[in-house]
Structures are given as C-alpha cells and as structure tokens.
Amino acid sequence: MRTALFPEGFVWGVSTSAFQIEGATDRDGRGPSIWDAFAGGAYGDPACDHYARHPEDVRLMQDLGIAAYRFSVSWPRVLPEGHGRVNDRGLDFYDKLVDELLEAGIAPYATLYHWDLPRALQDGGGWTSREVARHFADYAGVVYDRIGDRVDTWFTFNEPWVAAFLGHASGVHAPGLRSAADAFVSAHHMLLAHGLGLEALRARGAAKAGVVLNLSPVLTPAQLGDMTTGIPEEDAEAVARIDALHNRQFLEPLLRGRYPAELLPLIEKIAGLGHIRDGDLDVIGRPIDLLGVNYYTPIAVQAQPSAPADPAFPGSEGVLFCSVPSAVTAMGWPIMPSGLSLLLRRLSEEYPETELMITENGADFEDVVTGDGIHDVDRISFVEEHLRALRTSIDEGARVRGYLLWSLLDCVEWADGYRRKFGIVHVDFTTQRRLPKDSALWYRDVIKRNGLGAERPKRPTLETVAARAGVSRATVSRVVNGEARVSPDVRAAVLRAVQELGYVPNAAARSLVTQRTDSVALVLSVPRHGGEALTSAVVQYVTSVLEGAGKQITLMLADTAESHRRIVRHVEARQVDGVVLVPPDGPDTLTERLARTGVPVVLLGKPAIASLVPHVDVDNAGGARAATRHLLDRGRRRIGVICGPTDLVAVQDRLAAHLATLHEDGLRPMIALAGLDGASGAAAARELLSGGQDPDAVFATSDELAIGAMEAAREMGLRVPDDLAIVGFGDIHAASCTTPALTTVRVPAADQALALARLLLSRLDGRHTSPVVLPTRLVVRATT
C-alpha cells in the first residue's frame, strides 16, 4: 500500500462536544439543558468528567501530536437561563481550557451550539420561537468577549439537521417532539441564529467563522455498487427531494442565501412560510470562512409510491429508504469511504469558493480491553480508508483544510448513552481512567508523518495467540472451537492469551487445520420453482465477487437427504471457510444444521428463525403493500389475494402486508390458497371469481400465480384490466411478455447476489454483520 502524504500545513485534530464529555451538570452554576431533561439524568453526569479532568485530556492530546481541538461550549453553563445573567464560573472553565490548549501547542476551535439548548429557553418554545435566535447571538457575543482573543476559528452550529429533525420531527433526540411543522420552523430559526451569531462574532473581530453540517450523498441502490451509474428516471425526483431535505435545505441558504426552489412548496404545505421573513435569508447567507463537513455514511433511496414518510424526513412520502449492502459499524451504519470522495467532489463543484474542513469522521466498534491495550483494528481501518478517500479528493482539487477525527474520548452517545465507543481513547466510566487505543497511537503516527504509511495494521492472528500461549496454531484453533481434547492447563493458557491480545476469532480461527482453505461453498437447493433468474444471478455474481477476493468456489447441490449429509460433513470438516446457501422453497433443515457447524454461513432469504444466520432478503412486505395500495388508488375495492404456500416466510410477509393494507382502508380480505405453479393460480382464481364475492382485482404472491389468474379470467370471459385488475410479485421474464403485460413487484436479483457475497466477506473478515433487506419496486404495466 503506497504512502499518502497530505499538503503542508494540513490540520490534524479531534472533536468532542460539551454534553457528551464534560459532566458536572449541576456544578458551578450551570443550568439544565434539554438533554438533561431528555436523558432524565441517566447519563449526562459524570460523562467523561472532562470538566474536572481537562488538564489530563489536554496532555493526552499533546502526547498524540494533536494540532487542533474542536470543543463545544455549553450554553447553559454560560447563561443558565439562556439569556440575561452570565455565569462567570462557567466561562472560567473555557478560559482555562483555552489557555491549556495554547500552552500545549493545540489550536482551540470553538463550536457554540452542539444541541444543548438551555431548558429555560425550551420552556418558552425553544427553537420554534424566533426570539431564541436573538438570544443565541447575545450568547455568541458573551463567549467571544471572554475567549475570542485566543480562539482563531469559530463554528456557530453543529449539525442543525439533527437538532431540528431528530429533535422535533422523529423525537429520538432532545427535546423529543414529534411535529413535522415544528422541525421546519426550528431549522429556519437555527439558520437565522447562525446568521445573527455570525454577525456578533464578526462585529467583535472573529478571524475565521463558519458552521458544521452533517452531509451525506444521496444515492440509488444501483449507485451503491457503482457510483458511475446514472440515476434511473423514475428515481430522480426521490433522490432530489431527499437531497433537498437533508443537504440543500442548509447548504443553499448558508452558501447561496436561498432555499431550494423545490423545497419551498413542501415546507409551505407542512409548516407554512410565515416563519421565513423578509431579510432572513440575507442574514443567513452572510459569507463564511469555513464549512465544517461531518461525514459518516451515505443515504440510499428509490421511488416507492406506497412508502409512507420517514418521520425524520417530513415530506418523504413515496420514497423508500434502502439498506446499504456493505460492511457496517457496530452502530449499524454502512461503511462507504467512497461516499466522502463523492460528497467533497460535489461540494467543490457547486461551491468552489468555500473552504472545507472534515470536522467529524469516525466509527463505533466493539472494543476489548486487554492486558496490553485495546487493539481496535476495525477503527483504524475505517479511518485509514476515509483518509485515503480524502487524499484522493484533495488531489482532485477539493479545498480541505484539515481533518478532525470523532472522537478523542469514548463518551455519551446521546440517546444511546454509554454503550457506543467512538473514541480513540478508552474511558472506564467507573474509574474515569483513560487508555489510548491502538487507533490513538496509529493516529499519532499519521500526524507525525502528515499522511498514511505503507503498511496497514494487522489484527492479532492465530499465530500471535499461539506464540503468546506457547502452543501450536492448531491447539489454539481447537480451544476457540471448544474441543474437549485439550488439557485444562493448556486451555487456560490459550484463553488468557486470547484475552490479553484482544483476539476476535474469525473464519481462520474456526478452522482446525493449520492453514486457511480460502475456499467457499456455494450451496444451491434445487429445484427452486420460478427462481432460475435469481439462482443464475447468485452463481454469476457470488462467484465473481468471491473469486475476485481470492476465494475458490465449491459449487454443491442440495437436492437429496444424502446430499445434505454430505454438505454438512464437508463443512464440519472445515474444508471451507464459509458457506453461501440458497435454500429450497419449502421446509428447510439444512440452514439450521449448517448454522451449528460454527462456520460462517449467509443465507438467501429470511429463515423462519430470523436470527439464525445473517441473511439477504428483499422487502416482501413493502412490495406487497405497494401492490395493494396501487390497486386501491385506482378505485379497486374488492381485492382478492391468491396466496402461495403459507409455510414460505416470504409468502407470509407478503400476505400479512396485503391484509394490513386492506385493514387500513376498512376492507375485508378475500383469500384463495394455491401452490407454486400457474395451474394452481388458475384454480385459485376460479375459486375467487365463482365464489359470489365478485372481486374487481387480484393480488397474487408470485408472478406464476398471477399468470394463472389471467388465464382463468380469460376462460371466464373477463377482460383484464377492465373487469379484473391483476398484480403479481417477482417480475420474472414472462411477466413482461403476457398479454396484457403484467403489473408486478420487481425483485432485485443481481443486488441480492452481490449483497450475499459482500455479507460473507464481512463475516470472514470478522466484521459485525446484520441482515440486509433490499428494496422492491412496483412495475406498473397493462394489467392494472
């Protein structure tokens, strides 16, 4: 891996926020904040006790070579009631902190608002009140008057989207409100407060001032695998709308002095426009010196007419938020460093005059405290991959001044409390002992080098554990696999070495041979009725991706009881490192037997016990809901369902969603059970059509059944769609060839196959994995 140096003068630092680390929520005159009320006192104090331990934390940063420290000022610590009376003891804390930073050679970067509004202001309406924006400007002036002579760089707000929409629309953050109208009003007042606060800072002589936004590229599922892919015409409006809600709602007013034109009608519909007054956007759009960019993960969406609005995105009806088929952090956030390059390229093209800084980037992973440190290789890998993406962006011309890693310390992760670990320094919240992780030492070397080295960090291996315990690699493997034929003393020595090194068993550790096989079994259960296209895609894409990763593919057919036994014996003997399993349509015992082997298994389709193995599935419920809602929107009120075998999990999900959608409109269901083929679909349709219920539409849980229903309708002299509308599920090749062409729910075959391969690679690499659910899409054709 080549060395990647950064430009001379590039700023390396870390970020934190007041509520997450300071503690001391009732000391030295600090007033309560909305987060104290929201958390109910469960975790705001002592947090990291930074209020008392800041000298130690500054020394830590100095030892790591940190050049810049972005901290936030606690508004209720400075102005307990939010305005009026100034708490000098609170300002004393920041006074001392800034002096200590400068003495250590660390530039202080101050953020004035990181979500901890004084509760007294919330009692008066909070951010829904325009007056709070003026109080913020006064607060900015008070802070500047005390420390402005020593702070060079100021940020007014951190992530106003989060504060406005997670705090006021979805209610998962403080103040915990659930009002779409309040969210839009609050967002505007935060932007206004930024502008007024900027004026206050400028009037007092602030050298550099800006704002921090959480920004994410908005992509379609196809673009997640290939960012050069264009946006399909049917998804373009959905992508633009979410980009406007999440990104341009803040970028455009701040950098262009206007709201996106397509966003204003949506705001007017939900909240009116009375809160946006003449002159506001002139104040909001005052030039800034620096835009802080917080990047963690992309947003994936596509059009789905039946999808309800996501509470955090008011006005997002008809947009499906999609799973990202990639490795994820322990918080479940997809890891996609290329998204950072895409975002910086976009900012550089659209706002070329704006200087940028990465003000947050980091990841939550499970850490293991060992006798010789915390070996957080996953976190190092995450940061390194994003730094390489950042370096590429700088080569392309992005004006990025520096990189501030999130975060210095393990801290309170807002509504998630203490269980998330974003820090490069571990904090024992019982003793408040600090312990730099391997990532901190690695970051120290990056800073010293002003760039990335040639070697990637390596996680402890079986050989490392064997050397520490004084045993063979095979013995270590037997211990971690729980074999009984190891003496108690040897077992204890191995387990002690595992604990000391923080070793996390991966696919190699599960092997009892001395070398990893680098072989993967692709197990196909046949026949799978109507699944030829999907099976073909799995064979093609899984083979391609895994072979590209250096794996050998062993194709195995599971079509008899004997073949099942042979496959299980093959896997139990550790002749493969992992298994991709395409199960049968009907009852399946092979999944459970393979899951018990301890070898990583990934499954196509949700098993009956969803937690059994990581799996890739499609949104069967969402597809069925879209199909049913489509029929209802076209005035069909007597909708029958032809349901395939109900022992299939996918069919259960489709049927349940169909029934729930009918129930929402006060309609009673008409159900006809069928098998898997067209003949059974025709028979079920005849039952519905001749049973005196007189349906005017049919939803079938598969295309084969829908095609059978079309044949039955013709036999009975009914016209499709005039007399009977029909919708299927699957979009098999025949669906577009029927007369008339069948309206159906498209299932993404290639995306499922790619997700299977990526999910297995994540498991083999020891990464945290969770089920991947891919979106479906309603394809409207002539039968409706």
The residue among 554, 552, 466, 560 whose CA lies nearest residue 514 is 466
**221, containing H or E segment:** helix 221-225
Q: Which is the catalytic residue, given 22, 159, 384, 704? A: 159
Q: Which is the catalytic residue, given 360, 384, 687, 704? A: 360
Q: Rounded to whole angstroms, how far apart are CA atoms 34 and 678?
A: 60
Q: Rounded to whole angstroms, how far apart are CA atoms 390 and 403?
A: 9
Q: Which long-range contacts (CB under 8 A, 24 or more apart) does 60-64 make?
A: 60/408, 60/425, 60/434, 60/436, 61/14, 61/101, 61/104, 61/106, 61/408, 62/104, 62/105, 62/106, 63/444, 64/436, 64/440, 64/443, 64/444, 64/447
**What is the DSSP secondary structure assignment for residue 323, as one 8-state letter?**
P
Q: Say which residues have a Cβ less than 8 Å from residue 691's Cβ, sequence separation at least 6.
A: none
CA neighbours closer than 13 Å in the CB half-sphere of residue 522: 21
Q: Say which residues have a Cβ less than 8 Å from residue 268's Cβ, sequence separation at least 6.
A: none
Burial (Cβ within 10 Å: 0-12, 13-18, ≥19) of residue 292: buried
Look at residue 180 and give its three-state secondary structure. helix
- Write out the two tokens for 682: 């025709």
Look at residue 447 and give its three-state secondary structure. helix
Query: How far from the centroid of its chain's Cα atoms is residue 252's Cα?
Result: 25
Query: How far from the centroid of its chain's Cα atoms is residue 666's Cα?
Result: 36
Q: 116 with 78: CB under 8 angstroms?
A: no
In the numeric block, the tokens 């197990």 are attached to 523
| Active site (annotated) includes residue 360 | yes
Q: Is the dihedral of CA 117, 118, 122, 126 positive or negative?
A: negative
**What is the DSSP secondary structure assignment for residue 370, as one 8-state letter?**
B
| Active site (annotated) includes residue 159 | yes
Residues classed as catalytic: 159, 360
